[in-house]
Amino acid sequence: MSDGEYRLYSRPGCHLCEQAEALLRDLGLEFTVVDISNDADLEAAFGWDIPVLTHGNQVLLKGIFNRVRLERAGLTFSSVRR
């Protein structure tokens, strides 16, 4: 995986975004939520695909998030909070 932080591109009122954020927090991933709603460039890049998880400049996952899809994207979770 490339160097960089994890970012979750989202917007207020997006239920898939809220679910993705909750799952990532439950799995213990440290990430920054980026609200695309006030940024025309981010809206153009990610508007139809949110939620979008990136690491550095690499898009890891778009749309519906679940643990299997995250693992297929290359993420591993050694300590899951319960």
Q: Would 81 be classed as within a structural domain?
A: no
User: What is the predicted pLDDT for the residue at 1?
Assistant: 40
Answer whether residue 24 is part of any domain. Answer: yes
Residue ranges making up the domain that contains 62: 6-72
Asked if residue 42 belongs to a domain, the reply is yes
Q: Is residue 41 part of a domain?
A: yes
Average pLDDT over residues 44-66: 95
CATH code (residue 53): 3.40.30.10
Q: Between 8 and 80, whose confidence is greater?
A: 8
Q: pLDDT digits over 13-37, tens only?
A: 999 999 999 999 999 999 999 999 9
C-alpha separations of 13 from 9, 10, 32, 44 in Å:
13, 9, 17, 18
pTM for the structure as a whole = 0.87
Share of the chain above pLDDT 70, in %: 90
**For residue 79, is pLDDT > 80?**
no
